[in-house]
Amino acid sequence: MKHFTKLATAAALGTVLGTAAIAQELYTPNLAYRTGPFAATGIPLMNGQADYMALLNERDGGVGGVLINAEECETGYSTEKGVECYEKTKGTAIVTQPWSTGITLQVLPKTNVDEIPILAPGYGFSPMADGKVFQWAFNMPAGYWDAADMIIQYLEGEGGSLSGKKIAFLHLDHPFGKEPLPVLEMHAAGKGFELLPIPVGLKEMQNQSAQWLQIRRERPDYVVMWGWGAMNAGAITEAVKTKFPMENFIGVWWAGHDADLKLVGDDGKGYKSISWSFPNPDAPVMKQVKEMVFDKGLSQSNEEEMQGVFYGRGLVMSAILAEGIKNAQENFGTGQIDATQLRWGLENINLTNERIVELGLEGMVPPFSTSCGNHTGHSGGWMLEWDGAKFVKASDLLKPNVDGYADLIQSSAAEYATSNAPWAMNEECSATN
Amino acid sequence: MLNDIFIAPFSDMISAPDFLMQVLWEGLVSGILYALIALGFVLIFRSSRIFNFAQGIMVVFAALTLVGLFAMGIPAWISVGLTLGVMFVLAVAIERVVLRPLVGQPDIILFMATIGITLFLIGFGETIFGGENKVMITEELGIPTGDTVLEPFGGLLILQHLDITVVVVATLLVLALLAFLNYTQMGRAIRALGDDHQAALSVGISLQTIWVLVWFIAGIIALVTGIAWGARAGVSFALEVIAYKALPVLMLGGLESITGAIVGGLMIGILEKLFEIYWGQPLLGGNTETWFAFVLALIVLLFRPQGLFGERIIERV
């Protein structure tokens, strides 16, 4: 009996100490994909995200003195596995990072009930910009509708009026690929150009000869690509093969991965990608990551990958999350914030130029701010161009004309809420706040 | 509508014959690659009645091994030789560790075992090589790049040297395989096993040796396929999905027929391209290649359940 009492006491003590130990961290799970057909693009992003959190833990002891536990749950970019990961990690999570538009759409209604913020930087459902309706969802610093609008603006700026021209829209036949269609269709109607959607199936990503034969036959003035994973490399190699002028070929920010362009090297010169992030190897944060994470063997990355667009973007994503955590900690006077408090933190991000410099991120992300009504931030982005060896900036900061599709955001958000009724909204917030 | 279906496509073909030639060429290149993958399935099925679910991941594994060995500083062609060695070791390991203990088990068990092999190779490959996209060593292998531009009928026909090489090499490989199966003792042993297991075993054909051999041949096919596809869009685990394109080829041609795999692959490659360009894109918004081959195969199965070239099996009860 004595022996049993000792064991029970030890177990109870262990549980208490264990709980105390767990309590001294903020759990920010990442529904990552380092495996499967999209792994090639996922790995550098996940490495960037993980390394920034590792830097905060090493350099500052976490955020506000509380360590960050940025555990990954592997989804392989599968929506089913993504939902499983969400359910598995949501217990003590203060945020969920679903990492695919398909997974985002699936967990969106769940997070509204579970009251956990979704952080989907630069992806997900574009009407998430309406923070009144999507009170738990964030896609800052820019959404897909921003990207589509900036690309159209850029094309007009470079080649003049788009009236009478033809734009082929090469996209993955997946929720992600179809996201910008409403804004592209709106611009096609308003500006008088012909929009030619060309879907690419998941099994056809690496053999797009039919799609590029169609492009050859239709002779579009421009090709805009919403590609991801192996689709990007497939499209770029086909574009080279069919001798499509690279300078008239523009991709979204997920179609601007260095490794995809290295496949074609010089032949890809002139290819462009709109981007809300830019790699800056000279930024102080990069040097700190190198010294405090990479050199200590805490990173899964390599020096070549760390120079690339996607690694830098992953870093910025974690910096945005950390900024939200810091805001919440300061506002609520506690290091150990919960999901509701983090939502407040993410709704009050004010990443000014000064703050970007303070964080050591200069040149890597445009300034932006969020509010309860604006969960996207609409930071704008740069047009990047492949110079044969790396991406370089080909434009000044472009800003989306959000007013042009603000009504579309609100009506789409309202439609979503109606079709998913009862849908809890943030009634205290106005979409223009 | 009737005009769009029955007249406009043919009128387009006649008005732009150079474009039609380009479509046929692209279809031929895809088709010969589908046929190659299908051959890997057929060889294993014929000799062991196993539907090899791992054929796709073998393509990835072979290509990653080649690129990985080259990255270690080993010259390109020596890397090819070593990769073939790795595929041989893999064949021996599969026979010893997975297949031999399962001899006599129902076919579904063996099929499930190949799913296990797939999962193992995915995990093992990712651990060894990582999941990043890698560049195929096309130039180092001496595979010509660039293109030849022809102007038939005053139009434009672009022939990629890589595609020409793929067609030539794949054709030679198929011919070599046919010669091996028809004119060598081992080849005839494989065919004998496919025709009648019990009879083949009774005359002393070694099941173990044949299994190692067919898995090794499937490995060679996987390497050639991996080089061909990898040269087009990089080497990554996304290559695995290419193997699924062989499924309708097998349905169409028959799981046991080498001729069926070749004819089925070419038919699907060319027909799906023609349908996509002249009917799918104008009438259905495109992306018909995802389902066209399966529908074609299902139509064939309605009339010939054993496929175009499969053996009709009559079982007496």
Whether A264 has a pLDDT exceeding 90, the answer reads no
A10-14, A234-238, B77-81: which range is least confident on average? A10-14
Q: Residue B16's closest chain A neighbor by CA?
A: A217
Residue ending a domain, choose from A250, A275, A300: A275
Instruction: Evaluate whether A258 touches A278 at the Cβ level (below 8 Å).
Output: no
| Residue B308 within any structural domain of the chain | no
Q: What is the mean pLDDT of residues A240-255?
A: 95
Q: Tokens for B18, please give them.
A: 């150079």
A3 assigned to some structural domain: no
Within-domain flag for B132: yes
Contact of A389 with chain B, judged by CB distance below 8 Å, is answered with: no
Cα distance from B231 to chain A (closest Cα, Å)?
Answer: 9
Between the ranges A1-10, B97-106, B276-285, B302-311, where is the mean pLDDT highest?
B276-285
Q: Does the CB of A217 have a partner CB in chain B at under 8 Å?
A: yes
Nearest CA in chain A to B132: A40
Range of the domain at A173: 145-275
pLDDT at A16 over 80: no
Q: What does the buried/exposed string (b/e) look like for B275-299 if buried means 16 or more CB atoms within 10 Å of the residue's CB?
A: bbbbbbbeeeebbbbbebbeebbee
- pLDDT exceeds 90 at position B244: no
CA B130, B52, B271, B5 torsion-angle sign: negative
Please give the Cα distance from B253 to B257 (Å, whole number).
7
B315 lies within 8 A of chain A by CB:
no
A20 pLDDT above the threshold of 70: no
Give a yes or no: residue B313 inside a domain.
no
Beta carbons of B245 and A262 less than 8 Å apart: no
> Which residue did the predictor score with more confidence, A263 or B161?
B161
Instruction: State how many domains chain A has.
Output: 2
Number of domains in chain B: 1
Residue A3, pLDDT score:
53
Pairwise CA distance, residues B173 & B184, whole Å: 16
B8: domain CATH number is: 1.10.3470
Amino acid letter for position A23: A
Instruction: Name the band, by pLDDT with cuts 50, 70 and 90, for residue A19.
Output: very low
State residue A419's pLDDT score.
94
pLDDT at position A9, please? 55
Residues A288 and A358 in one domain: yes
Angle subtended at Cα A217 by Cα A214 and Cα A221, rounded to the nearest 5 degrees: 95
What average pLDDT does range A72-95 have in this prediction? Answer: 95
The more confidently predicted of residues A4 and A73 is: A73
Identify all chain B residues contacting A198, using CB atoms and an 8 Å cutoff.
281, 286
| CB-based contact, A219 to chain B, within 8 Å | no
Whether B36 maps to a domain, the answer reads yes
Residue A4, pLDDT > 60, answer no
Beta-strand ranges (E) seen in A118-254 are: 118-119, 137-138, 166-172, 194-200, 222-226, 249-251
The terminus-to-terminus CA distance of chain B in angstroms comes to 51
Residue B309 lies in a domain: no
- The yes-or-no verdict on residue B48 having pLDDT over 90 is no
- What pLDDT is stored for residue A112 in this prediction? 94
- Residue A10 domain-assigned? no
> Omega before A182 cis (within 30°)?
no
A236 Cβ neighbours under 8 A, 6+ residues apart: A249, A260, A261, A263, A264, A268, A271
Interface ipTM: 0.87
pLDDT score recorded for residue A18: 47
Residues A184 and A245 in one domain: yes
Contact A199 B285 (CB under 8 A): yes
In-domain check, residue A9:
no
pLDDT tens, residue by residue, B55-105: 989 999 999 999 999 999 999 999 999 999 999 999 999 999 998 898 888
Mutation site for A-interface testing, chosen from B23, B67, B232 by largest number of A Cβ within 10 Å: B232
Tell me the shortest Cα–Cα distance from B227 to chain A, in angstroms. 13
Q: Quote the domain boundaries for residue B233.
A: 2-303
**Per-residue model confidence (pLDDT) at position B127:** 87
For the domain that residue A203 is a member of, what is the CATH number?
A: 3.40.50.2300
Q: Give yes or no: residues A339 and A356 share one domain.
A: yes
Task: Supply the pTM of this predicted model.
Answer: 0.88
Strand A350-351, strand A272-275: pairing: unpaired
Report pLDDT digits (tens) over A171-218.
999 889 999 999 999 999 999 999 999 999 988 888 899 999 999 999
Same domain, A121 and A152: no
Question: Over chain B, what is the mean pLDDT?
Answer: 90
Shortest CA gap B22–chain A (Å): 8
Pairwise CB contact (< 8 Å): B238 & A217: no
CA–CA min distance B179, chain A (Å): 30
pLDDT at A252: 98
Quote the pLDDT of residue A1. 47
